Amino acid sequence: MEIKKLQMLGVVFAAMMLAACSSTDVEEGGEVDSGQSLSGFDGSVSGNQGAAQPQEPAEPAVQLESVFYFEFDSSTLTADARDDLDAQIARLKDTVGTIRLEGHADERGTREYNIALGERRAQAVADYMVLNGISRYRIETVSYGEERPVAFGQGESAWSQNRRVELK
């Protein structure tokens, strides 16, 4: 009888240890998963996912928001985008803080392809900014692919609005 009690105590103890060792799902940024969608996931993996406190990106000194549009399946800056970007660069040279570039794509193509295309677009804007005097350390790029459209629907008018990089 004593051996059965010890065995039962061992099983209960092992079950408690396994339950105590379980972990919760953690989204990018260190927040506990509350069942929300991962549509904002940018595909990158951080090397310090177990860190206690994630750092928030530094706020820019001046809020400068702008959108730069791209041609279908392209990460090459258009002439209009370069002109708009030149105006933003002139203002950004007089400010400090982080510049966030968010790359987007229209819904055509696979999710993985659109994430990569959004990243190439954001990187093209970042490269142009660096060539024109903005320090690389100030620039943060992220791609949302097709996950955050501004225009819904089928057709070139909706798709062209979603092929963009947003400066924040």
pLDDT at 149: 95
pLDDT at 47: 41
Query: All domains of the chain, ordered by start, with CATH?
Result: 66-167 (3.30.1330.60)
- Give the three-class secondary structure for 143: strand
**Mean pLDDT of all residues in 93-104:** 94
For 14, counting Cβ atoms within 10 Å of its Cβ (0-12 exposed, 13-18 middle, 19+ buried), the class is: exposed
pLDDT tens string 38-60: 444 444 444 444 444 444 444 44
> Which amino acid makes up residue 23?
S
The tokens describing 100, both together, are 């966030």
Contact 101, 139 (CB under 8 A): yes
pLDDT at 121: 98
- Please say if the pLDDT value at position 20 is more than 50: yes
Interatomic CA distance for residues 1 and 162, integer angstroms: 72
Q: What is the mean pLDDT of the chain?
A: 78
pTM: 0.61
pLDDT tens string 99-145: 999 999 999 999 999 999 999 999 999 999 999 999 999 999 999 99
